[in-house]
Structure 1
Amino acid sequence: MTNKRTLYRNRRAGKVAGVCAGIAEYFNLETWLVRVAVVSVFLLGGSAIIFVGYIALWMILDEKPVEQQQEAADLSVKKKVWQAGEPAKQALQDVSSRFHTLESRLRAIETYVTSDQYELKRQINNL
């Protein structure tokens, strides 16, 4: 199985055109880190290169498809400070809350299935 990634602009996470957000997502970095790097190079004398490069990427890169934006919402844990994703403690809390939600739903289903009302409906449907 190949993990083929494509560089897209991510307008939902972007400020201007989503170029920095797309680059950050492609390289699995925090978006703020890419923005700081771009602004730093811009202010330290590379303003023409950054400006032309940003405009070129804005025109060249496609916007990220909606289907892939929904897939990106999956849980990812960051291992280094500069990586994108949630800190491990936050990810553990999110997983724990998901399990509590699923457990309460499962209990509600179990209560319904073991109730007399469910048995009565099942017998009526079998007639």
Structure 2
Amino acid sequence: MSSPRTRFYRDKVNGKFMGVCSGIADYTGVDALWIRLGFLILAFSMGWPFFLYFALGILASKKPGYLYSDREEQKFWQGVRQSPARTAREVRASFRDIDRRLADVESFYVNSNPRLSAEIEKLR
């Protein structure tokens, strides 16, 4: 099952013609200007990218407006599409950091409150 955030969409809002280059830029995280320049160079040197562009423009779905809530979420999902393993490692590292910080907070409150410490020891 594929998440809607990991699929390719045409980006008509930020696109110039059909939104294909802008969709590729959104999908990969590369600036749309570089995608457009690369497409133009390929298209004028080979010719077949025009057909691919129109095929993607017709077949690809339009990007839903509710896909990302903010820029940070968009960057996260671009990272997931680029390297899922690296993103999983980063998320695990974030959770380890949160767990460590929570243990520090718990330790602070337990050590500074002997009555609470005694109550926790009774529960064990």
RMSD, aligned CA: 2.1
Bigger relative contact order, structure 1 or 2 (CA pairs below 8 A, ≥6 apart): 2
Shift of 1:72: 5.8
Instruction: Flag the 1:72–1:35 CA change in 2: closer, same or farther, 3 A.
Output: farther
Partner of 1:33: 34
Shift of 1:23: 0.7
Spell out the pairing of 1:1-127 with structure 2 (5 A cutoff). Answer: 5-44=6-45, 46-47=46-47, 49-68=48-67, 71=68, 73-75=70-72, 76=75
> Aligned letter for 1:29?
V
Q: Which amino acid aligns with 1:7?
A: F
- Structure 1 residue matching 2:71: 3-state secondary structure: coil
Distance in 2 between residues matched to 1:30 and 1:74, nearest whole Å: 14
Cα distance in 1, alignment partners of residues 57 and 22 from structure 2: 12
Unaligned runs of 5+ in 1: 77-127
User: Structure 2, unaligned stretches of length 5 or more?
Assistant: 76-124
Whole-angstrom distance in 2 between the partners of 1:39 and 1:72: 32
Q: Which consecutive aligned stretches of 4+ in structure 1 deviate over 6 angstroms post-superposition?
A: none
Taking structure 1 as the reference length, the TM-score comes to 0.51
Change (3 A) 1:10 1:30: same
Cα deviation digits, residues 1-49 of structure 1 (max 9, x gap) = x9751100000110001000001111111000000000001122x11x1
How far off its partner does 1:73 sit?
3.6
Higher percent of residues as helix: 2
Residue identity in the other structure for 2:60: L
- Percent of aligned pairs with the same residue? 25
> How many residue pairs get matched?
72
Shift of 1:50: 1.0
Amino acid at match of 1:32: L
